[in-house]
């Protein structure tokens, strides 16, 4: 099945970083709903998994997907969830500028952490969906996350990320350490929050989802998905349609 066509856009963040984005118009109802789609670490709006998710979500509203700084066609360097809130904010502001009166962010993994932090710290959205998101920083309790930290913290790891995935990671450590996603979740209300996590996630165990959900105030929901792995690559069309229906009800 061909994917819904999208139209490129170039955004500028409040701190001056050029962000590559794409707008997929709504394919059905929900003409007033804009869904801002935020990929995971080393991802891109051009990856087929992200494009497939945008295609499915476009049945419920228009979709604005972006490449975070240091990823894909965007400028700058990745700060792995800190300054990326400005990238997401630029995409949210763009969605409103092109006519969407309701805007819901849908983030996967790192993108989920950014969506939580954006909604809690900068506000400006009508709903938030965090899929496979970490609750806290510096988690090394699984082998995949130890590999991620190697890519972030070691020169050889940053080189491998640049050459293998085109991801440019900042060498500067966080100073100060930004508020964790679960801390930001406490400030999202009155916007509704949906936390989605798989019980087969190899990166972040379920306690991350529970910590985010427990920290948030109502309205909030937690979906624990049996057999679901991690982020975009494991997301089925059926799950994305359920997320789209939730966003359409916001």
Spell out the domains of the chain, with CATH numbers in brackets: 7-248 (3.40.50.1820)
Q: At what angle do helices 237-248 and 48-57 cross, to 10 degrees?
A: 40
Output the pLDDT for position 3: 80
Give the pLDDT confidence score for residue 29 in this predicted structure: 55
pLDDT digits (tens, 9 = 90+) for 107-155: 999 999 999 999 999 999 999 999 999 999 999 999 999 999 999 999 9
* Residue 209 DSSP label: H
Burial class (CB in 10 A: 0-12, 13-18, 19+), 190: exposed
Q: Mean pLDDT across the chain, nearest whole number?
A: 96
Strand order in the sheet with 33-38: 7-12, 18-24, 62-66, 33-38, 102-108, 127-131, 193-198, 220-225
Listed in sequence order, the residues at least 6 apart from 28 whose beta carbon sits closer than 8 Å to its beta carbon are 58, 59, 60
pLDDT in tens, 33-81: 999 999 999 999 999 999 999 999 999 999 999 999 999 999 999 999 9
Indicate if the pLDDT at residue 4 is higher than 80.
no
Mean pLDDT value across residues 183-194: 98
């Amino acid at each position: 099945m061909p994917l819904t066509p999208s139209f490129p856009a170039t955004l500028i963040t409040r701190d001056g970083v050029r962000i590559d984005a794409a707008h997929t118009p709504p394919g059905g109802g929900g003409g007033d709903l804009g869904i801002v789609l935020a990929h995971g670490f080393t991802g891109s709006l051009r990856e087929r998994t992200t494009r497939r998710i945008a295609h499915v979500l476009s049945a419920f509203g228009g979709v604005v997907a972006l490449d975070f700084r240091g990823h894909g066609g965007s400028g700058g360097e990745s700060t792995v969830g800190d300054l990326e809130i400005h990238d997401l904010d630029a995409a949210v502001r763009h969605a409103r500028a092109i006519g969407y009166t309701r805007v819901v962010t849908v983030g996967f993994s790192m993108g989920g952490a950014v969506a939580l932090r954006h909604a809690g710290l900068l506000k400006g959205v009508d709903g938030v969906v965090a899929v496979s998101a970490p609750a806290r920083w510096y988690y090394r309790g699984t082998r995949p996350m130890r590999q991620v930290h190697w890519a972030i913290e070691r020169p050889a790891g940053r080189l491998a990320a640049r050459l293998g995935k085109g991801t440019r990671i900042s060498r500067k450590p966080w100073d100060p350490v930004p508020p964790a996603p679960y801390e930001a979740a406490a400030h999202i209300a009155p916007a509704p929050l949906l936390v989605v996590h798989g019980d087969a996630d190899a990166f972040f165990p379920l306690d991350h989802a529970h910590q985010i959900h427990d920290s948030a105030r109502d309205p909030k929901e937690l979906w624990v998905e049996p057999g679901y792995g991690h982020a975009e690559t494991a997301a089925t069309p059926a799950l994305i349609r359920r997320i789209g229906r939730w966003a359409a009800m916001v």
